[in-house]
A and B are shown apart, each in its own frame.
Chain A
Amino acid sequence: MRYAETGYNLEIDLSTGNIERVETDPRLTELHLGGLGTNAKILWDRVPPEVDPLSPDNLLIFSAGLLDGTPAIGANRTIITSFSPQTLLMGFSMMGGFFGPELKYAGYDKVIIRGKSPDLVYLWINNDKVEIRDASHLQGKGALETAEFIKEELNEPKVQIAAIGLAGENRVYFASIEHGRSSASRLGLGAVMGSKGLKAIAVRGTKDINIAKPDKFWEICQEVLKYIEYRLQNPIKGVPAILSMIGSPQEMMLHDEQWHTTSFSWGHARYRRKDFWNEEVAKNWAESQRNAIERLVSCYNCPVRCGAIIRHPSLPTHRYMMKCYSKLTYVMAAMTDDLAFGFKIAGLAQEYGLDGYTTPQVMAFATELYDNGILTDEEMPGFPSNNEERFFYLLEKIVRREGIGDVLANGVYWAARQIGKGAEKFDHNTTKKHEQMVIKLGMLNPLYFLMYATGEKGNITQIEGQIPQTPLPKGYREEFVKDWIQVPTGKEERFKRFILEWGDEGKSFPFWPPPDLVCELVDWQETMHYIDDATGICAGLSSFPIKPPYHIHNLSCLISAGTGLDIDEEGLWEIARRNRNLVRVINVRRGLRREDERPPEDHWKKRFPEYEEKLLDEYYKYRGWNREGIPTKETLEGLGLDYVAEDDMIKKEILKEGVSLGGTTVKATKKQ
């Protein structure tokens, strides 16, 4: 019997209509757990590096996390993995809600989709019965609207649906996959789904998930629940309200947006408005939020209410769901002071199936080009003068790939190069061809430098966590470290000292803390995310907040009790390292090199190029990678990834150890 997982994947070939239920190798669970880990293994094995992300040969994998469907609190993430049309690298995006657990109850850990359907279809997975159904009547329909249509059509109130909107159908490079309560929005996986002619996946499952040691497992779940309750009542002291809680940042519940609006940049990641927040804004915004929000809601098996139902009379469904920072992304990019605009445009964009992070930046970029005379009325006929109207104008153009929208739909990096005429200079906030957080700061932060540079996910929020972003005020430090149980074994002394000293005279960025401690802190932050990405536990309860309910100590016990595997803290750390390295070599094989590993030039005002190179050197060394950021043969073999070390291209690159590659590396090329 398989525990925690189902032991089966569903393989769908949309070109031939072939559907297979395939038993998986339990050894892969021991090596990679599940979710992102096993997704990466499949991509390495089955998608050669030259495959274009939008070609039928690319795979689109919907995976439940290893613990999805078990009683593990907040284990509900669906990890969607493919190659991104925007970055051309591995793209994975995750969503909460109910889809992953339902897939497990239907009897599958993953749905692996290859090929391309000649006509628009949707997939209906009802336990053992799986059908590819016509979706021509859903063409052009919104993502949320589609879900309602399908629910009605199948007459199945408990079905869970993931769908794309118009943006995905039109292969917008930042199209999302929407699932009502949550979206997998980063890196354009909605466009991959669209390229396969797949409008939606509907799933309903009524099977059991078995737990190896149910009593032990349940005991840990209860401890986690208790700690959640404790943390909800005891916010961290000495940090901004938004960072003091658990869950996704509680922006549906909290009205205080001083931190985001004054620390993050407005427009196309350009301007800080340090004095934006005042009493009047606070009052108006609180009112807008109260008018918009109907109620707070939760994802599957989680008591934290991160999401909200937002009223939106002009949508076919009249409502949509929102969480976190997306209420602000459009508002700040459009440089408007009206929060109601944010609620309005975000709902429309969600129905079209667009990423709420990248979309506003692309629109602000286009606005900037227009204001600078690079784009004109010729390319943008009838472009309004008011910023809010401009954003609605651009939204319609982008999702339809109409006129200039066809270029902008490729994201800032590609659009800048297609437009030319100096537009490249305005591409100032992308890394690895992807729009980054709109934050512009003063002093180089060595931890964030490494996370931005070496991260291979869409978002810094999928890498950072655990520690405050700025030094704690003196009076709060002792109290903070007193019950900091989350710190990995063996690091207690070093990490606690870091918190106690950080901010003292001479103990500040960029040269403090020393590079070895920087590497350890970055490793901890990123590792915890890689564990969540495999288990499906929401980062909001685990890798993202400060002092989360899940940590390396209870996660190893929980995974062991759930699966029956014997995984201790060190073992778990090693699995995360294996998955991290596998993601890296997949991208290395597609052309990722050291030269790509740079945060946006203007992310910090004060930069230290030589020291930054040293930091990268140190971090690569710490990770067991060579000067180019490629895992060495020893590193790969040490993690049981011998077959990766045997790959011709990786072998060639490993042999170049210590040799400067200059500009000779083969980069994945883009068909335009």
Chain B
Amino acid sequence: MAKEAMANKVLMIDYQKCTGCRLCELICSVKHEGVSNPSRSRIKIMKWESEGLYVPMSCQQCQDAPCVAVCPVKALTRDETLGRIVVDYDVCIGCRACVAVCPFGAMGFDHIDRKVIKCDLCDGDPQCVRFCEVGALEYVEAERVSVLKQRDAAQRFSSAQKTAAAIQAEM
């Protein structure tokens, strides 16, 4: 894939499709740490079991990233080829200021290796996306996200309109 195209791709999360199986967490820990341990995953499913609500949470690779801004040693930088924020572990001092400042809680701290961890988009082939059978995670061009969402929202409008028309016809 051309680098320009990759630079523009983001992780698109559709929480309505997530069935809460957490396979993504497991895959992420296997891929990055070589062990099974969802607590070391970069992606986390937040759950409200009694409400049937499951929301995958991961790094948004913000344009104006608070983690980059707060880092006192400039260990966090923006990698333009993949459109992601990366940690330079040779520079990182492990102060966790980035963990404190991330508005999504997406900057994690690995309690075993004692280091900050975040989604690196698996260098352009996110494994969570590859193994999410229900399609709750997708890796798509940034501008496609809103188009796809617009289509889904429009579909809901259109079916609501059909229902309304049917009710009117019955009246």
Contact = CB atoms under 8 A, between A and B. Distances in A.
**Do A and B associate with each other?**
yes
A294 B35 CA distance: 35
A205 B29 CA distance: 14
B21 interface: yes
Interface in B6-59: 19-23, 26-27, 30, 33-40, 46-47, 49-52, 54
Nearest to B45: A158
A301 interface: yes
B26 A301 contact: yes
A208 B36 contact: yes
A320 B19 CA distance: 15
B49 A303 contact: no
Nearest to A180: B49
Contacts of B50: 144, 148, 180, 317-319
B157 interface: no
A89 B68 CA distance: 62
A interface SS class: loop
A305 B19 contact: yes
Interface in A195-209: 205-209
A502 interface: no
A422 B30 CA distance: 62
Interface size class on chain B is 20 to 34
B52 A300 contact: no
Given A105-B37, A157-B46, A208-B112, A303 B22 contact: no
B34 to A, nearest CB: 6
A70 B46 CA distance: 21
B33 A71 contact: no
A297 interface: yes
A296 interface: yes
B133 A303 contact: yes
B22 A71 contact: no
Interface string A57-97: 00000000000011101000000000000000000000000
Contacts of B27: 71
B37 A207 contact: yes
Interface stretch (A133-141, A210-218, A587-595): A210-218
A511 to B, nearest CB: 45
B21 A303 contact: yes
Contact of B30 (A218, A296, A305, A309): A218
A71 B30 contact: yes
B112 A297 contact: no
A295 interface: yes
A98 B20 CA distance: 10
Contact of B134 (A71, A144, A218, A303): A303
A181 interface: yes
B131 interface: yes
Interface string A228-243: 1100000000000000
Given A144-B50, A148-B50, A229-B133, A71 B21 contact: no
Interface of A: 69-71, 73, 98, 105, 144, 147-148, 157-158, 180-181, 205-211, 214, 218, 225, 228-229, 294-303, 305, 309, 317-319
Given A208-B35, A303-B19, 8 more contacts: A71-B26, A98-B22, A205-B39, A206-B40, A211-B36, A295-B19, A298-B19, A300-B21
30 contacts: A71-B26, A105-B37, A105-B38, A105-B39, A148-B50, A180-B50, A205-B39, A206-B111, A207-B112, A208-B37, A210-B35, A211-B36, A214-B34, A229-B133, A296-B19, A297-B19, A297-B52, A297-B54, A298-B19, A299-B21, A300-B22, A301-B23, A302-B21, A303-B19, A303-B23, A305-B19, A317-B50, A318-B51, A319-B50, A319-B52
A-B pairs, 10 with minimum CB distance: A303-B133, A206-B39, A309-B52, A298-B21, A208-B35, A317-B50, A298-B19, A209-B36, A208-B37, A297-B19
Interface of B: 19-23, 26-27, 30, 33-40, 46-47, 49-52, 54, 111-112, 131, 133-134
